[in-house]
Chain A
Amino acid sequence: MKRFRMMLLAALTVLTLAISGCGGGGGDGGAGGAGGATNPNQITFDSSSKTLNPLTGGSMSAAVAINDSGSVVGISSDGSQQVRGVKWTVSTINGTITATTELFPLTGFNYSAAYGINASGFIVGESEDAANTVVAVYWAFNTQTAVKLAELQAGKNSAAYSVSASGRIVGEAVNSLDKIVPVYWRSSSIAPVALPTLSAGGTGVAYGIIDLADGSSVVVGESDDQAVRWKINAAGVAQSVEPMGTLTGHVKSVAMGVNRSGVMVGESEDSAGVVRAVIFKDKTILGVIIPGFDVIDLGAVGVKSSAVAINDSSSIAGWNNDISGSSLTALWLANASPVTTVNNSLSGSGGNGFAFGINALNYIVGVKSDKGFVAITK
């Protein structure tokens, strides 16, 4: 009994920390560091978002992730309409944006894309490689030269989507059976391992990773069309896969982001293909974590929505469709009860907008009308 009370006390402590938004470390744009407002009414943005311009001559850009220093990564077309990985830097003091910096593909190739950046400015993504393959790469801090991450299967495609503060990387790779499987690189210099899938020979993708204070990490993604979580222990070893379920009656789900409190976000899809933004949380009884997950619906009935990134203040970035079917960038506050939709058009009115990343300052990045944007808090 005494042992149970101690567990309960510990669990309550964890819960309290989660609600207050405390926590250490930092991940990519899907899991910024601690800080920022916890009261939805205190989050206000500049009147209009700022465009993250494409490379010279390019017609398209999209921002995927942002770190707490204001470094933003994503993609842009160049003057030849080739897609390249790019980086922008947004001043956290006055919101000014630096010129777009190209993150080059592997030497001799044309395509690259940047998807994740950690607090140290270490960037991960993908590059074209030989034989028309696309492989996972990284760009070290302040460099523009892509370095190939070790392959799961030589000559097959791979991609890196997220990097944690300690340099752990997750993504996807094609295995020897030509299946796309979730993969994890313990560091940029170590060969990847395939993360477990829900079924033997199954498929999956790992989209997000965040380090916890004890040296372990949490990875989220999907396997066999179900949102899943993997834990990485302090020694860097991947544990088993945990299915997180769907909204009642739904058939698919995916988890895209996680914060250090263990709150995960993503989407759940019904049989007609309509997706709804959701939060995945460990089930608890009196604060004690028990097996299973709660799947909390953030979306409005009848329209599509998706929650893509969450910071340690439990601010969630994503998108909502309006009744006309246009998508609007969205921000939710997961620690309000019920969860509050704060803003439905962070990228401004008109045109399709999607938010993909959020940092500790509640800066939100994404794409609207084929151009990257950043929404900056006042």
Chain B
Amino acid sequence: MGKLFHRFHRFKKITSFAMAAVMFASPASAALVSLKSVPVPKPANLANYVADEAAAVRLGKALFWDMQAGSDGVTACASCHFHAGTDNRTKNTLSPGPGPNAVFTPGKGVNKSVTKTDFPFVSFADPENRATVRTVLNHDVVGSQGVNSKDFKSIRNGNPEDGGNHVRNSTFSSQGRNVRQVTGRNAPTVINAVFNYANFWDGRANHFFNGVNPFGYEDVDARILKNVNGTLTELDLSLQANRLDNASLASQAVGPALSDVEMSWKGRSFPALGKKMLSLRPLAQQQVATNDSTLGSMVHASGKGLSTTYADIIKAAFKPEFWDNTSQTVTFSSSGKVLGKVTPDSSSKSILNPGKMNVKSSALAVVNGTGGYSQMEANFSFFYGMALMLYQATLVSDDTPFDRFVDGDATALTQRQQRGLNLFTSGGTACTACHIGAEFTAVSITNTKNPAEPSVIELMPMADNALANYDIGFYNVGVTPTAEDLGRGATDPFGLPLSFSLQFLNKAAIQATKNIDDVFFAQPGCLNTPLADVPRICPPAGAAPVQRAAVNGAFKTPGLRNVELTGPYFHNGSMSTLKQVVDFYVRGGNFHEDNIADLDPFLDGINGLRDKEDEQAALIDFMIALTDERVRWERAPFDHPQLFIPDGHLAKVNGDPRRVRELGDNMIELPAVGREGRSQLQGPLKPFLNPGGDPAFHFND
């Protein structure tokens, strides 16, 4: 063990001293590849479920952009992912952060606008020296505004707005009325998210899709329905034969749709959402360009929405056994929240949720939302997740100056950008310790399934010099105090740890109460540093596994493609420019000492960049070379239907002040864009808080 520490810290020391030399070494282009060379990951079993992938992509794009999916008939998935795959709104975007007792920083709060001067949320007298005094300490989060607080009552067939009852929200309220709630974390981009082994900042969107919710095998009761010879039978997607791997995006997609902050009024179920969407014309309130790269051929004569139904697209996209039962309906005895068992399946799993789902003859079904879901409605979460995954799998930005450079176009990067690339890949900055590969993240499927990476649980001495297990690609870098947001260290709704490390360490206790297959428990492996001259760090042979996990406060390493356009940065959206991000790493984080027990050991400050403004500018310039012009101009596949987006509230009440308990929305329009992208008049997408397109924006503190 001592030898292990010695070797690791000797490496850190060497890299520090060798910084200058490494900085001026030639780019490690041999080790760098274009994203074009990385296959887009998809489930190995996909063909068992999907009949026509192109139809599934059409379904996914329609659902992703359809405002009717929200309980309010306004909030789409895209409402938080409309700008380079993320959200660049500035009004009513503050949240006091996670936790019931969180309060806004004095002077901030609901329905306020953030400005350049609000960033970064944590400042030091010397931005490059964390030993200097903190001059600003703002614990708020820049999130995305979702829906007003309401209790779900029922869907209203043909009406995009669900029936619901007002619930007063003591945090998200103003002028005696609710305002739209804001998420406790910043919205990550959906572009290139298909390459992630796990999604959401805490990775709770499981790699394996269970067909129902984000938690994969952690929900032992999740089932979808298969029509077998006219009888609805449960299908457990955690079984080997049924398993959907590489499907974190499907797991992710079914989360926000039922979140009572993001898109749903509290208590809505996916079958209810399905029943509503199946009663509505796709995108009926939104214009769709006739040259939309995916939906153009289906545009309704009115110019609004599609000239088809969701049912027809589902039938085209998915195999019939998942939707073609017409003789039975399904009812849910527990408010439809969890799909339970229908009839015993072939697994040996115990029935933990008996009676939650009942099947009966459709002739006995009650119509109009009071019960009796069709198979298509009951399986809507499955269709929704799969279709959105396959649509987002098309959102790959692999044509950047960086990609062209590593593919052999020496002119694709400027001299300064090449210098920045050198710095990025150098041991001195250690950027690639986390932002590795063509995806620029260690949480990529490429990296996690790399044969040279023995496990998704790795071992390394953390910043406090003690060995600990951690989840590959998830790091505590000291953006916020660890206890403020546990991130990967949190538990799921079923009481299981989110992290592979804690699942492994608690395996016996978990299996005592949950019937989870051994195959889902990862084993600790070694650490392969991205630096070739450093030995692997492995558990001592024959020694008992290290019992410590460093997962609290750890978050998914985001990919850096299009980072120019995807601000604000980090899980709390606390930095607005890339210079602020570079300063953060140069000083070694905001809460280095506070988070030391869980802190990534590479967060030690970058001495070689301290007071080197030219070098820092080169690094930033390289990151700007990660922008795909198709993303900047919303050209195919990044084109989209029209979208109306709530952008804060007006001091007005739309209706009877006694009964309307929400402030009026300030709506903005995102016009429909076809495959050719934005017009010159519209101009390209701009960075967050840089509507004028100041080219120096990202180079400023």
Contact = CB atoms under 8 A, between A and B. Distances in A.
A133 interface: yes
B656 A113 contact: no
Nearest to A60: B652
A59 B652 contact: yes
Interface stretch (B28-36, B152-160, B308-316, B566-574): B152-160
A78 to B, nearest CB: 9
B651 A82 contact: yes
B157 A82 contact: no
Interface in A336-378: 354, 356, 370
A7 to B, nearest CB: 38
A271 B156 contact: yes
A161 B658 contact: yes
B300 interface: no
Interface string B146-167: 0000000110111101010111
Interface string A84-120: 0000000000000000000000000001010100000
A128 B175 CA distance: 8
B482 interface: no
A225 interface: yes
Given A74-B657, A126-B176, A161-B658, A174 B168 contact: yes
B173 interface: yes
A64 B658 CA distance: 8
Contacts of A77: 651-652
Nearest to A83: B175
Name A's interface SS.
strand
A305 interface: no
Contact of A59 (B161, B175, B651): B651
Contact of B170 (A133, A207, A225, A272): A133
Contact of B658 (A60, A115, A134, A174): A115
Contacts of B159: 272-273
B662 to A, nearest CB: 13
Given A133-B170, A225-B153, A113 B651 contact: no
Nearest to B655: A354
Most A C-beta atoms less than 10 A away, residue of B156, B163, B175: B175
B657 A82 contact: no
A132 B178 CA distance: 11
B604 to A, nearest CB: 42
A83 to B, nearest CB: 4
Contacts of B230: none
A133 B657 CA distance: 17
Contact of A75 (B153, B158, B167, B657): B657
A251 B655 CA distance: 21
B171 interface: yes
B556 to A, nearest CB: 33
B657 A115 contact: yes
B549 to A, nearest CB: 36
Most A C-beta atoms less than 10 A away, residue of B173, B652, B656: B656
A163 to B, nearest CB: 13
A111 B175 contact: yes
Nearest to A58: B651
A207 B158 CA distance: 30
B245 to A, nearest CB: 42
A203 B653 contact: no
Interface in A62-86: 62, 64, 74-75, 77, 81-83
Interface in B468-495: none
Contacts of B547: none
Interface of A: 59-60, 62, 64, 74-75, 77, 81-83, 111, 113, 115, 126, 128, 131-134, 157, 159, 161, 174, 180, 203, 207, 225, 251-252, 271-273, 308, 354, 356, 370
Given A180-B166, A180-B168, 14 more contacts: A59-B651, A60-B653, A64-B657, A75-B657, A83-B176, A111-B174, A132-B173, A133-B170, A134-B176, A159-B176, A273-B159, A273-B163, A308-B656, A354-B656
11 contacts: A64-B658, A75-B653, A77-B651, A83-B651, A132-B171, A134-B168, A134-B173, A159-B176, A159-B658, A252-B163, A272-B159
Interface of B: 153-154, 156-159, 161, 163, 165-168, 170-171, 173-176, 368-369, 650-653, 655-658
Sort A-B residue pairs by CB-CB distance and give the 7 closest, nearest first. Answer: A81-B651, A83-B175, A273-B156, A273-B159, A77-B651, A60-B652, A134-B176
